[in-house]
Amino acid sequence: MKNKTLLIGISGGTGSGKSTVTKKLVELIKEENVAVIEEDSYYKDQSNISFEERVKTNYDHPFAFDNKLLIEHLKDLKSGKSIEKPLYDFELHNRKKETLLVEAKEVVILEGILILSEEEIRALLDIKVFVDTDSDVRIIRRILRDIKERGRSLDSVIYQYMKTVRPAHLQFIEPSKKYADIIIPEGGYNDVAIDLIYQKIKSIIE
Reported for 25-32, long-range contacts at CB under 8 A and 24+ positions apart, including other chains, are 25/109, 25/194, 25/197, 25/198, 25/201, 26/109, 28/194, 28/195, 28/198, 29/106, 29/107, 29/198, 29/201, 32/105
> Is there a binding annotation on residue 16?
yes
> Is there a binding annotation on residue 79?
no
Rg of the chain, C-alpha, whole Å: 17
> Is there a binding annotation on residue 19?
yes
> What's the one-letter identity of residue 123?
A
> Is there a binding annotation on residue 9?
no
Neighbours of 186 (CB within 10 A): 15
> Is there a binding annotation on residue 15?
yes
> Is there a binding annotation on residue 12?
yes
> Is there a binding annotation on residue 151?
no
Residue ranges of the annotated binding site for ATP are 12-19
Q: Which residues are annotated as a binding site?
A: 12-19
